[in-house]
Amino acid sequence: MTSATHSLERRAISLGTANAIDYALQFLLPVVLTRALDTQSFGEYRLLWLAVGTALLTPLFMPESLYYFLPRSAREAKRLYVNQTLVWVFGGALIAAFALSPLDPLLPASLESLAGRHAIALPLFAFLWVGSYLLDVLPTVEERVAWQAKVIVSLAALRVVALSAVAIATRGCCTGCAPRPTSGSRRRSFPPRSSLRSRSRWCWRRWCSSSGNR
């Protein structure tokens, strides 16, 4: 095995490990958020990531073209390609920010309330998220694999810690704002114990009471 092959395998393992850690943290984050957020807040969180993930299509995968052009170009041409791609990505980020702002007339109804309550934060987050797209490609193209792996793991850990901390810190606010169940809803809910016998007894009482009302 030559030194070049060994170096290539080492870099591939480094990137693969970093991406595996990223995916593992992405799997862990919803588990934490489902315990810290109420149903509506967690649904808005998933809707936000769906919208931002769709907004990543605005650069049209132009940064990936650097894999072809940079290794075949001189130093001045490399700088030109990187600058052009950077302008293109920031243009896509501006389009994504406008698409998720209240100024967009084609904004879906499901995002109107979210964009209305976060008229500045949501477009700014979309702009920064799409604008940082080049960080996922450029270090690998320049063969800075170790730095790329550190960036992937650091951003993934920062995202998980920041979102989990915000969710846990605002958990009391969400609980306090949640409507309290009425007496009628308490009578219609299942008993605290979830055994089969208690559920069957509850259903029998409900059926008898409905038959008596008729």
**3-state helix/strand/coil string of 134-202:** HHHCHHHHCCCHHHHHHHHHHHHHHHHHHHHHHHHHCHHHHHHHCCCCCHHHHHHCCCCCCCHHHHHHH
First-to-last C-alpha distance (Å) of the chain: 84
Mean pLDDT of 13-28: 90
Q: Rounded to an integer, what distance in angstroms lies between the CA atom of residue 105 and that of residue 171?
A: 33
Mean pLDDT of 34-42: 85
Q: Which of the residue ranges 57-61, 142-146, 194-198 would you say has the lowest mean pLDDT?
A: 194-198
How much is the pLDDT for 82?
92
Q: Is the pLDDT of residue 187 over 50?
A: no
Q: Is the pLDDT of residue 140 over 60?
A: yes
How much is the pLDDT for 183?
46
Q: Kindly report the pTM of this predicted structure.
A: 0.68
Residue 125 and residue 52 in contact, taking contact as beta carbons nearer than 8 Å: yes
* Cα–Cα distances in angstroms (integers) from residue 7 to residues 2, 20, 69, 91, in the given order: 9, 20, 22, 36
Q: Which residue has the higher pLDDT, 84 or 198?
A: 84
pLDDT per residue as tens digits for the range 87-118: 999 999 999 999 999 999 999 888 888 888 88
Q: Rounded to 5 degrees, what are φ and ψ at 42? A: -70, -35
> In which element (H, E) is residue 121 found?
helix 121-131
